């Protein structure tokens, strides 16, 4: 007779309540995990050790869970060694019982169903214990209101924690006429071109600098400093938490890559804006940027293989989201590198790709304001021939088109050929050696589902750091030419803002999107303000770092906004 159906009886033949359990289902779950460790993802979120009825089964499941959460492999021998180290091997039945579990379980294919049985029996035991508690409370004289309130609270907690139908509910959401005609909320972007609550792709061939680009984007979000001059709109970004999740390099190499980017940024900021600005940059990056290195841990991808099926790695995803909620309750920008090592099977497999796409979207949208950037290898034809248009960049990711189709923003990073480099850039910007070694990369924005695609950007790799380049036709002017060109829009912006009663600082001008578009970037605005100050065309008052700016008569003349008297006076001085 099954342990889950037999009745206990007293000597007088009166039946006593049976404690609900299923030894067979518990054995099937444990045996399935011992013969197929990748099945852990199918049961990790369904069960905990306390759900098992038999004490030895609780000990074995707790041991398997500890090894799985630590990223360690486990099988019959490894679990027995772990239990032995903890002094629990004999309590768990010894190596012989572990062997029996593994031998008597032919397959793990139905492990999720058996786990459901174990969970259901555990719930019934809780209800049974609750009935006993109610009887005891009545016997002790507690009133019905107190007992009922406690009962409702307990049942509500259980429903929130383990309602089996919670994920199956469908909501038909209606809207009123007022709601549908209300002002449309603007799209939220974590960075320019990177929409929030979605995943974006950066595809590139081998050694196309996509990982270095990804690190720069995370540093930009973490610090607010755009080291690559990508903020073409000039609106700036709201700093926030960032996580780099990498599968490609060991942690020391990942850290060295971070060091190169951050140290170069610190050096540049300190040289141009002072030690205080450099220190603030380092402080923000240290506070907001974290890394998770999963190199060499085959069972720690976002999807895993369970027998013949590819399924989400629930244990890893939930652990990642738990860490994300603790570190960044307001959302984070997550960088994943590379896609190929974060999944199992072939990247060309549509059946596996749809599961991976759902997992990527789940991670990206877990918290409001979060976003996910995924670095991926490009397909072979583009790796050999390069991208010539936006459509090519939109579908540059290797493998199934599902990855590109469901990303909300698609970029391609590709190294340029030597002849193209020489045609595009002046010799003073790229050396012969750099051109010959093809050290210049082009970033093409192929698709943005929630906005406008960006213009191409160019970078040269020097000493492990990307440096922004301007093509010959958009190359910056000489300092005097640049100052004369910038004077008119800057003076116009200052006078317009002062006319509205605002105090105008260099930071205020850098946040003016119209001015940034006119001059090219926020860095160009900073440089123009500095040149105009140094040459007496602007004045700065105040003692704070963001001093108030005003236009001098010579500045009005340079900008072509002076009266005839001012022009004549400047000409005679």
Report the distance separating Cα 12 and Cα 10, nearest Å.
5
| Helix count and strand count (H, E) for the chain | 25, 17
User: Do both 283 and 160 map to the same domain?
Assistant: no
User: Do both 221 and 314 map to the same domain?
Assistant: yes
Report the distance separating Cα 455 and Cα 230, nearest Å.
10
Report the distance separating Cα 337 and Cα 423, nearest Å.
32
Give residue 131's pLDDT: 82
Res. 545: pLDDT tops 70:
no
User: Do both 468 and 499 map to the same domain?
Assistant: no
CB of 354 closer than 8 Å to CB of 402? yes
Give residue 543's pLDDT: 64
The range of the structural domain enclosing residue 456 comes to: 189-473
Report the distance separating Cα 29 and Cα 114, nearest Å.
6
Element spanning 447, H or E: strand 440-448
Tell me the average pLDDT across 288-306.
87
Give residue 534's pLDDT: 87
User: Do both 58 and 147 map to the same domain?
Assistant: yes
Give residue 439's pLDDT: 95
Report the distance separating Cα 236 and Cα 226, nearest Å.
8
Report the distance separating Cα 404 and Cα 379, nearest Å.
12
Res. 284: pLDDT tops 50:
yes
CB of 311 closer than 8 Å to CB of 42? yes
Give residue 53's pLDDT: 92
Whether residue 48 lies inside any domain: the answer is yes
Per residue in 59-100, pLDDT (tens digit) is 999 999 888 888 888 889 999 999 998 889 999 999 999 999
Ranges of H-type helices in 9-88: 23-35, 40-43, 55-69, 76-86
Q: What's CA 193's distance to the chain center, in Å?
A: 15
Whether residue 468 lies inside any domain: the answer is yes
User: Do both 285 and 429 map to the same domain?
Assistant: yes
- Give Cβ neighbours of residue 21 (< 8 Å, ≥ 6 apart): 3, 4, 53, 54, 121, 125
More confident residue, 379 or 99: 99
CATH assignment of the domain containing 496: 1.10.10.10
Give residue 166's pLDDT: 43
**Assigned token pair, 87:** 């002094």
Report the distance separating Cα 281 and Cα 284, nearest Å.
5
Last residue of a domain, one of 164, 179, 197: 164
Whether residue 2 lies inside any domain: the answer is no
**Assigned token pair, 197:** 């609550």
Per residue in 259-281, pLDDT (tens digit) is 999 999 999 999 988 899 999 99
**464 phi-psi bin (left φ>0, alpha ψ -120 to 50, beta other):** left
The CA-based angle 83-87-92, given to 5 degrees, is 55
Highest mean predicted confidence (pLDDT) among 165-169, 234-238, 243-247: 243-247
List the end-to-end C-alpha distance of the chain, in Å, as a whole number.
111
* Whole-angstrom Cα Rg for the chain: 32
Per residue in 513-535, pLDDT (tens digit) is 888 877 777 778 888 888 888 88
Whether residue 176 lies inside any domain: the answer is no
Give residue 264's pLDDT: 95
β-sheet bridge partners, residue 374: 201, 336
Element spanning 351, H or E: helix 350-364
User: Do both 106 and 194 map to the same domain?
Assistant: no
**Assigned token pair, 98:** 């572990």
**Range with the poorest average pLDDT among 72-81, 217-226, 356-365, 447-456:** 447-456
> What's the whole-model pTM score?
0.59
User: Do both 413 and 489 map to the same domain?
Assistant: no
Give residue 530's pLDDT: 87
β-sheet bridge partners, residue 375: 202
CB of 409 closer than 8 Å to CB of 371? no
Whether residue 169 lies inside any domain: the answer is no
Q: What's CA 480's distance to the chain center, in Å?
A: 43
**Assigned token pair, 126:** 């809780």
Last residue of a domain, one of 410, 440, 473: 473
The count of domains in the chain is 3
Ranges of H-type helices in 70-209: 76-86, 94-103, 111-139, 144-162, 177-180
Res. 209: pLDDT tops 90:
yes
Give residue 60's pLDDT: 94
Give residue 155's pLDDT: 63
Report the distance separating Cα 526 and Cα 242, nearest Å.
27
CATH assignment of the domain containing 208: 3.40.50.300
Tell me the average pLDDT across 477-485.
74
Ranges of H-type helices in 416-540: 418-424, 432-436, 479-499, 506-510, 513-519, 522-534
Mean pLDDT, the chain, rounded, equals 82
**Assigned token pair, 134:** 């109610």
Give residue 161's pLDDT: 54
User: Do both 497 and 469 map to the same domain?
Assistant: no
User: Do both 258 and 200 map to the same domain?
Assistant: yes
Res. 164: pLDDT tops 50:
no
Whether residue 180 lies inside any domain: the answer is no
Tell me the average pLDDT across 280-295.
96
Per residue in 180-195, pLDDT (tens digit) is 999 998 889 999 999 9
More confident residue, 337 or 151: 337
The DSSP symbol for 542 reads S
User: Do both 455 and 487 map to the same domain?
Assistant: no
In 138-235, DSSP assigns E strands to: 189-191, 194-195, 199-204
Per residue in 337-369, pLDDT (tens digit) is 999 899 887 666 666 788 899 999 999 998 888
User: Do both 211 and 242 map to the same domain?
Assistant: yes
The residue length of the chain stands at: 573
Report the distance separating Cα 224 and Cα 289, nearest Å.
12
Give residue 525's pLDDT: 86
User: Do both 429 and 526 map to the same domain?
Assistant: no
């Amino acid at each position: 007779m099954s342990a889950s159906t037999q009745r206990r009886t007293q000597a007088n033949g009166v039946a006593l309540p049976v404690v609900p359990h299923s030894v067979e289902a518990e054995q099937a779950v444990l045996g399935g995990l011992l013969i197929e460790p990748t099945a852990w993802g199918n049961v990790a979120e369904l069960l905990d050790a306390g759900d098992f009825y038999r004490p030895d089964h609780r000990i074995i499941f707790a041991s398997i869970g500890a090894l799985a959460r630590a990223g360690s492999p486990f099988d019959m021998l490894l679990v027995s060694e772990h239990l032995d180290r903890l002094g629990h091997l004999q309590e768990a039945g010894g190596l012989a019982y572990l062997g029996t579990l593994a031998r008597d379980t032919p397959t793990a294919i139905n492990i999720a169903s058996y786990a459901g049985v174990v969970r259901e029996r555990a719930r019934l035991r809780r209800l049974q214990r609750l009935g006993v508690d109610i009887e005891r409370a009545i016997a002790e004289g507690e009133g019905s209101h107190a007992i009922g309130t406690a009962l409702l609270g307990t049942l509500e907690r259980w429903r929130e924690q383990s309602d089996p139908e919670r994920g199956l509910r469908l909501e038909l959401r209606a809207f009123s006429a007022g709601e549908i005609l209300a002002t449309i909320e603007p799209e939220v972007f974590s960075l320019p071109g990177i929409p929030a609550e979605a995943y974006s792709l950066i595809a590139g061939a081998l050694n196309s600098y996509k990982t270095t680009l990804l690190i720069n984007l995370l540093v930009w979000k973490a610090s607010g400093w755009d080291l690559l001059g990508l903020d073409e709109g000039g609106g700036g970004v709201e700093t926030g938490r960032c996580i780099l999740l990498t599968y490609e390099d060991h942690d020391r190499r990942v850290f060295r890559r971070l060091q190169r980017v951050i140290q170069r940024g610190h050096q540049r900021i300190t040289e141009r804006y002072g030690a205080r600005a450099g220190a603030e940059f380092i402080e923000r990056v240290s506070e907001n940027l974290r890394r998770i290195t999963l190199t060499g841990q085959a069972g720690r991808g976002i999807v895993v293989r369970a027998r013949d099926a590819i399924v989400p790695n629930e244990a890893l995803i939930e652990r990642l989201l738990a860490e994300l909620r603790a570190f960044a309750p307001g959302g984070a920008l997550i960088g994943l590198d590379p896609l190929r090592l974060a999944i199992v099977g072939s990247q060309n497999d549509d059946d596996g790709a749809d599961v991976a796409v759902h997992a990527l979207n789940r991670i990206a949208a877990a918290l409001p304001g979060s976003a996910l950037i995924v670095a991926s290898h490009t397909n072979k034809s583009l790796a050999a021939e390069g991208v010539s248009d936006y459509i090519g960049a939109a579908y540059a990711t290797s493998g199934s088109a599902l990855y590109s189709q469901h990303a909300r923003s698609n970029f391609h990073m590709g190294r340029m050929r030597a002849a193209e480099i020489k045609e595009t850039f002046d010799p003073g910007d790229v050396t012969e050696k750099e051109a010959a070694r093809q050290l210049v990369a082009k970033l093409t924005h192929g698709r943005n589902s929630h906005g406008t695609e960006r213009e191409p950007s160019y970078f040269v790799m020097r000493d492990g750091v990307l440096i922004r380049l301007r093509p010959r036709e958009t190359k910056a002017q000489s300092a005097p030419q640049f100052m004369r060109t910038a004077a008119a829009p800057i003076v116009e912006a200052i006078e317009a803002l002062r006319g509205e009663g605002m105090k105008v600082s260099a930071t205020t001008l850098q946040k003016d999107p119209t001015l940034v578009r006119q001059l090219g970037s926020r860095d160009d605005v900073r440089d123009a303000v500095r040149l105009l100050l140094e040459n007496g065309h602007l004045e700065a008052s105040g003692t704070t770092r963001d001093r108030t700016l005003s236009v001098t008569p010579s500045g009005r003349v340079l900008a072509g906004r002076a009266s005839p008297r001012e022009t004549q006076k400047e000409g005679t001085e």
